[in-house]
Chains A and B, each alone.
Chain A
């Protein structure tokens, strides 16, 4: 979403070393690192999409014969 018409960033100082990364970049990196770590932990502990283990419903909401079918309370069966 770059918008060339609004380019108004000030130039960096001419002399010396390059300016350090701004604080918002560091905060952003820390927050993203925490989120990424949380996602990896969630995946590693089995919190994946679909079939979270507790609910098993057979087709058309019927208890299937010959296999385990667990229906949560209030299931529309």
Chain B
């Protein structure tokens, strides 16, 4: 991948990843209101907004972040499985996306219930566990990506050795 394309993909990837974190924060705020408000209309509105925010912002941003992350890894010397920090980032991101996609239908079901007249009883309690843990994992991913802690996987170690030997042969 040329440096120009790397920069472009990096900009897109950063925008999607940071946007994902921001959207989860917005969702968490709505979840807190759904859990703590004593006003039934606020609880109802919060659940409807959580459903919309989840499907319209969090899911597209999460999938976009995962895909651009894969492109960035495969298109650069970092690779996907060569460094522990990339591998852990990939595993955590896939985990977050899977949990998100499994969880959102439940959110939609509660939001549908909330939209229907006379069925607000399931709205209390909010949705705090998933966005709280999700936010913690996303922040951990961000720290990993900024600090890039050292550590080469056995696969990365073999690749480095092959590269060195190839360079020695060519020298």
Contacts and interface: CB of A to CB of B under 8 A. Distances in A.
Contacts of B128: 49
Give the contact-size bracket for chain A: 35 or more
Interface string B94-127: 0000000000001100100000011111111111
B10 to A, nearest CB: 6
Given A12-B152, A39-B133, A50-B125, A1 B17 contact: yes
B56 interface: no
A42 B97 CA distance: 20
Interface string B26-47: 0000010000001110010001
A52 B154 contact: no
Interface string A27-42: 0100010010001001
A21 B151 contact: yes
Contacts of B89: 1
Contact of A2 (B73, B136, B161): B73
A51 B125 contact: yes
Interface in B123-171: 123-130, 133, 136, 140-142, 145-146, 148-154, 156-158, 160-161, 164
A63 B121 CA distance: 11
Nearest to A49: B127
Nearest to A55: B124
B125 A22 contact: no
A59 B125 contact: no
A48 B31 CA distance: 13
Interface of B: 6, 10, 13-14, 17, 31, 38-40, 43, 47, 69, 72-73, 76-78, 83-84, 86, 88-89, 92, 106-107, 110, 117-130, 133, 136, 140-142, 145-146, 148-154, 156-158, 160-161, 164
